[in-house]
A and B are shown apart, each in its own frame.
Chain A
Amino acid sequence: MADRSAALPLGATPAVPGAPAAPEERLRRDLRLIAEMIEPESRVLDIGCGDGALLAYLAREKGVDARGMELSQSGVNACVRHGLSVIQGDADHDLDAFPAGAFDVAVLSQTLQATRRPRHVVEELVRIGKRAIVSFPNFGFWRIRLGLLWRGRMPVSELLNNSWYDTPNIHLCTIRDFVVLCDALGTKIERSITLDRHGRPFSLDPRGGLANLLAEQGVFVLSGKSRD
């Protein structure tokens, strides 16, 4: 599962006495973007929550009923130690137990590419969450394309920073691939944001070729079956 250990110490709510609060600007950019899309006081499940930086922020700043799921034992333990509600589990197997609509928002950030059954996971996200927010690295990003074309090597970037032989990222996709999957599942794309290599958002139609070329990552807001 995506490593968020780079995120800063939890200023978790409720915090362990003496622990420093993580100021907003220290939250990773894509997480901050996700946080902005979440309504105060809502019920949120963050799948692959790492050390709980997003959860802690949402609980502290927005009064969110924040729950998490994380594969790594060290991540889970760190979260619970900081007073966050997190269970050890993985997106492939442990979403089935939740009832439909259990959460206002199900978040899967930088984790989809590490799941075994991404299609099933996306289906589950929009089942258990009234909305789902999914962020993932775009394998169609021009630097990745160029790396493969020019160097003839599997791309290694800041977001995809493992060698091919030890990467947890087994199901990489492009933004266009993801849009095609959502269409196939009948999942409605309510909103999409593309981020450049500095994590700055820019607005381009996710179905267009340019977004697929220029975005290093995409953030999608999804909801159940598209009605159109």
Chain B
Amino acid sequence: MSIVTAPLLKRPGKEWPGHSLVMREPLRLDCGVDFGPFTIAYQTYGKLNPERSNAILICHALTGDQYAAEPHPITGSAGWWTTMVGPGGVLDTERYFLVCANVLGGCMGTTGPKDINPATGEPWALDFPVITIHDMVRAQKLLLEHLGIDTLFAVIGGSMGAMQVLQWASSYPESVFAAVPIAGSARHSAQNIAFHEVGRQAIIADPEWCGGRYLNAGRNPSRGLAVARMAAHITYLSEAALHRKFGRNLQDRKAVTYGFDADFQVESYLRHQGSTFVDRFDANSYLYITRAMDYFDLAAEHGGSLPAAFPGKQPRFCIISFTSDWLFPTSESRALVHALNAVAANVSFVEIETDKGHDAFLLHEPELFATLRGFLTGSAEQRGLTRFWS
């Protein structure tokens, strides 16, 4: 059975909802390259108040995008944080102005490796500079300056989004009132780098990848990308969740077939995850963004001291982890708590009991909602935000 039958990734067209901002000035990246001009594609929900004090930046995860709360323009599926964002929601669009930008290196409108390199007139492919989490955050800072937002009420995100949150607190502590890193870490662990490497090698090993120049060749390494997604998806779940969902149940059959078809439901599920992913994601973006996560190590940027990564007056923190998350385990969040305690920052830390694994931050998790609602409501009162804008 063929895993995927995806067409080439669609190029961003005018019909995509949201906004985009072209930055003419080059941005100095961690790798030393002055990069630009480049585009930042972003989406907003709610209304900025006259004081410009109610903005929340939502940072998306590895395979997320700016469409947090509306149907995805390619797949049509619900936004990845629809559970969280909306009128009266935890991220209340009647109260807050929400900004979510596609990360640098992404493939949903912000400049990434599939876009045209002005120097050659061809897609960047591997000529695209290697970007870091810090670079993504630098780009977000430029966007917020453009929007006239000096201080964010909050910056929030899960997984790679949490890395961006931490980078914000580290680089621009004075510009953030509250920081909410969910299921995150101050550095990418060896195990996580290892999983990413498996994914990248699956892409690179696909003959359709063509040394990264598949767009010129009119091809798409969708099999490699699908395998990368399948392997990664396992790490987002937990053994208990997989067992609860699928057990050893067979897929549309009464007995095993003594072959390599998807006999088990769990196989069928993973193949589906892989094949739907390639419709909306660019393989080279996957290489670049996983690399950015691998390079993330806040302490290393500060002489090996994690507390030193959090200078100045730090924002209020709400750090959240999940008991069954083995990709970004609670111990990573606890190390963060200790570092923030060392600089006497105002920290809340909640570990939420769930069997849903790393992906719990994207799912219906009432304890997560209640925790966030309490923290944000408390922070809003401290910030002097009233409930409704007219």
Contact = CB atoms under 8 A, between A and B. Distances in A.
Interface stretch (A75-83, A148-156, A196-204, A214-222): A75-83
Given A16-B374, A88-B351, A89-B337, A83 B381 contact: yes
Interface in B338-383: 338-339, 341-344, 346-353, 367, 370-371, 373-375, 377-382
A44 to B, nearest CB: 12
Contacts of A65: 346
A204 B319 CA distance: 45
A86 B348 contact: yes
Contact of A80 (B318, B334, B353, B382): B318
A97 B341 contact: yes
B344 A77 contact: no
Contacts of B291: none
A131 interface: no
Contacts of B381: 13-14, 83
Contacts of A86: 348-349
Contacts of B337: 87, 89, 94, 97
A67 B350 contact: no
A87 B347 contact: yes
Interface residues of A, number: 26
B370 A85 contact: no
Contacts of A94: 337-338, 341
Contact of B378 (A77, A82, A87, A98): A82
B316 interface: yes
A86 to B, nearest CB: 6
Contacts of A12: 378
Interface in A15-62: 16-17
B375 A80 contact: yes
Nearest to B333: A88
Contacts, number: 82
Given A98-B342, A99-B344, A77 B371 contact: yes
A78 to B, nearest CB: 9
A225 B349 CA distance: 32
Contact of A85 (B338, B339, B346, B352): B346
A73 interface: yes
B183 to A, nearest CB: 15
Contact of A77 (B316, B341, B367, B380): B367
A77 B316 CA distance: 16
A97 B316 contact: no
A222 to B, nearest CB: 20
Interface string B195-211: 00000000000000000
A173 interface: no
B130 to A, nearest CB: 34
A16 B381 CA distance: 10
Contact of B371 (A80, A85, A97, A98): A80
B347 A81 contact: no
Given A14-B381, A81-B371, A83-B378, A67 B346 contact: yes
Contacts of A77: 350, 352, 367, 370-371
A97 B342 contact: yes
A98 B344 CA distance: 7
Contacts of A98: 341-342, 344
Interface centre among B344, B351, B370 (most CB of A within 10 A): B344
Given A99-B342, A99-B344, A84 B350 contact: no
A72 to B, nearest CB: 11
Contacts of B378: 12-14, 82-84
A43 to B, nearest CB: 8
B349 A89 contact: yes
Nearest to A98: B341
Nearest to B343: A99
A170 interface: no
A79 B342 CA distance: 22
Contacts of A14: 377-378, 380-382
A86 B346 CA distance: 9
Contacts of B371: 77, 80-81
A61 B348 CA distance: 21
A65 B351 CA distance: 23
Contacts of B353: 73
Contact of A88 (B339, B350, B370, B374): B350
A181 interface: no
Contacts of A13: 378, 381
Contacts of B341: 87, 94, 97-98, 102
Given A87-B337, A97-B338, A97-B342, 7 more contacts: A16-B377, A67-B347, A73-B350, A87-B319, A89-B334, A98-B341, A102-B344
Interface of A: 12-14, 16-17, 65, 67, 73, 76-77, 79-89, 94, 97-99, 102
22 contacts: A13-B381, A14-B380, A14-B382, A16-B373, A73-B352, A76-B349, A77-B350, A80-B350, A80-B371, A80-B374, A80-B375, A83-B374, A84-B378, A87-B349, A88-B349, A89-B334, A89-B337, A89-B349, A94-B338, A97-B338, A99-B343, A99-B344
